[in-house]
């Protein structure tokens, strides 16, 4: 995978099918750097991140896409977010003692759900639920595209704990795609091996799969880890606690400390911040809104 931290479309001439390739290297390691996740969680989060990057490549507006898996067993939550510019972050919550390394994604989430949320900067948010079908995240997302969007899709996701990669082959929504075109390209796509997805650069991978096709790679765009947490939003998130409770903490500790779960950034709030949070305007001194 020489195409580190990039997302790149594949264009097929004369076929109403698109492809998207992504490779996450520093993006993946930076996103997990503040966490000591066990191998199975590292792998699954890598796949979630690659999937979020690929799905966000179809966003036609400014905003973010959130892929969130929730379960009631060993894994409580896996989440990967990507903005329309492929700025990614991810997080997991799990019970390490219950984790079984040899259990599939859908078994780890048994009884749970996988949701895709699209949050435009302006306008309505959209949420779709993904059936927990098959073994893997890619199986679940293929089912989602088939049932929710009536789009034939093939998704490959891979992560070795150090890097992650993804490849999507999908019928173009407007055209619907000719069945024989889909059958042909998806058969070629299905021969992709996990090691190839992780190790081959995009041009080599394209040649390996589709050398007899008229196809080419579109210009690549960057993917990176970025957490857009802020002092203002972190303070606002404290509203679920009572003002009295927060003042008690501030009085005994000298401040209320809140760490960002994604990037580890620590935010400190004093008594004046807390008073302002619960005042009519809700604007705390030192918050972004007053700068």
Q: How many residues bind Zn ion (CB under 5 A)?
A: 6
- What's the half-sphere exposure (Cβ side, CA atoms, 13 Å) at 122? 2
The whole-angstrom separation of Cα 128 and Cα 142 is 13
Measured CA to CA in angstroms, residue 187 lies from 122, 138, 147, 190, 206 at distances of 40, 16, 21, 5, 14
Look up tokens 């007053």; give the residue: 290
Closer residue to Zn ion in complex, CB, 99/258: 258
Closer residue to Zn ion in complex, CB, 205/260: 260
Range in contact with Zn ion (rule: CB under 5 A) among 8-16, 132-140, 172-180, 252-260: 252-260
Detail the DSSP E strand segments found in the chain: 6-12, 17-24, 63-70, 75-83, 87-94, 113-120, 126-130, 153-159, 164-171, 215-217, 221-222, 224-225, 256-259, 266-269
Q: Which of 227, 235, 249, 250 binds Zn ion (CB under 5 A)?
A: 227
The whole-angstrom separation of Cα 57 and Cα 69 is 20
For residue 85, the minimal CB distance to Zn ion (Å) is: 17
Range in contact with Zn ion (rule: CB under 5 A) among 7-15, 91-99, 171-179, 220-228: 220-228
Q: Which of 109, 157, 260, 276 binds Zn ion (CB under 5 A)?
A: 260
Q: What are phi and psi of 25, to 5 degrees?
A: -120, -85
Contact 135, 92 (CB under 8 A): no
Closer residue to Zn ion in complex, CB, 78/227: 227
For residue 242, the minimal CB distance to Zn ion (Å) is: 25
Contact 75, 94 (CB under 8 A): yes
For residue 94, the minimal CB distance to Zn ion (Å) is: 20
Examine residue 32 and tell whether it contacts Zn ion (CB under 5 A).
no
For residue 243, the minimal CB distance to Zn ion (Å) is: 25
- Mask 67-86, x = binds Zn ion (CB under 5 A)? --------------------
Examine residue 267 and tell whether it contacts Zn ion (CB under 5 A).
no
Examine residue 263 and tell whether it contacts Zn ion (CB under 5 A).
yes
Query: Please, what's the largest Cα pairwise distance for the chain?
Result: 71
Examine residue 229 and tell whether it contacts Zn ion (CB under 5 A).
yes
Examine residue 262 and tell whether it contacts Zn ion (CB under 5 A).
yes
Range in contact with Zn ion (rule: CB under 5 A) among 53-61, 65-73, 116-124, 259-267: 259-267
Which residues lie near Zn ion (CB under 5 A)? 227, 229, 260, 262-263, 265
């Amino acid at each position: 995978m020489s195409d580190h931290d990039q997302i790149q479309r594949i264009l097929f001439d004369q076929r109403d099918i698109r492809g998207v390739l992504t490779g996450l290297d520093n993006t993946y390691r930076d996103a997990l750097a503040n966490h000591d996740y066990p191998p199975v969680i590292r792998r699954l989060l890598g796949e979630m991140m690659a999937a979020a990057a690929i799905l966000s490549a179809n966003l036609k507006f400014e905003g973010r896409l959130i892929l969130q898996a929730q379960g009631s067993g060993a894994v409580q939550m896996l989440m990967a977010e990507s903005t329309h510019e492929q700025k990614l972050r991810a997080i997991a919550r799990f019970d390490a003692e219950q984790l079984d390394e040899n259990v599939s994604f859908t078994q780890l989430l048994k009884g749970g759900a996988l949701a895709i949320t699209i949050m435009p900067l302006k306008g309505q948010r959209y949420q779709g639920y993904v059936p927990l079908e098959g073994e893997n995240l890619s199986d679940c997302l293929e089912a989602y595209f088939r049932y929710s969007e009536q789009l034939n899709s093939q998704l490959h996701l891979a992560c070795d704990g150090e890097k992650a990669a993804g490849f999507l082959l999908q019928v173009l929504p407007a055209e619907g795609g000719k069945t024989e075109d889909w059958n042909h390209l998806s058969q070629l796509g299905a021969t992709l091996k996990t090691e190839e997805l992780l190790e081959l650069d995009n041009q080599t991978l394209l040649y390996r799969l589709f050398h007899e096709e008229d196809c080419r790679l579109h210009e690549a765009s960057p993917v990176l880890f970025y957490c857009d947490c802020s002092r203002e939003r972190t303070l606002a998130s404290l509203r679920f606690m009572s003002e009295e409770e927060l003042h008690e903490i501030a009085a005994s500790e000298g401040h209320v400390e809140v760490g960002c779960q994604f990037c580890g950034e620590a935010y400190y709030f004093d008594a004046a911040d807390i008073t302002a949070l619960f005042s009519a305007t809700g604007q705390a001194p030192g918050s972004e809104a007053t700068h």
